[in-house]
Structure 1
């Protein structure tokens, strides 16, 4: 079995795809946009309900976009982790 994921905010496109799937007797499921959900975790993991966790994640994304990152080689990571 194969699946296709379609991402759009255009309701007309969504309805057209739903009609097409129904016409071909194809099963489909709709998923909520997790970026707008109070808990961005697909499994509703309570870890992501903590505002401090979300703040840290957003700060990390901003740091990465701004180039404030340190890249480690595999050997450096293993040494830091004691592996």
Structure 2
């Protein structure tokens, strides 16, 4: 079973965040995957992408069988409403 360790990459050093692997002084080859930084995407592009996704969702009519009143009642069921 593979185990993943979290770390910060600073220059050419890794700083462990959670668990620290027991490696001793041996040199181990590693694979590092850098994820795309979300802040690179500008707000307009992100908003446009979100609008396209919401249009597709609306077009698929995925929530046609959901009654919004019943959904809201079920969602707020554990909370007592003042004055009611």
Q: Structure 1 length normalisation: TM-score?
A: 0.29
RCO higher in 1 or 2 (8 Å CA, sep ≥ 6)? 2
The structure carrying a bigger helix percent of its residues is 1
The structure carrying a bigger strand percent of its residues is 2
- Specify the structure having the higher radius of gyration (Cα): 2
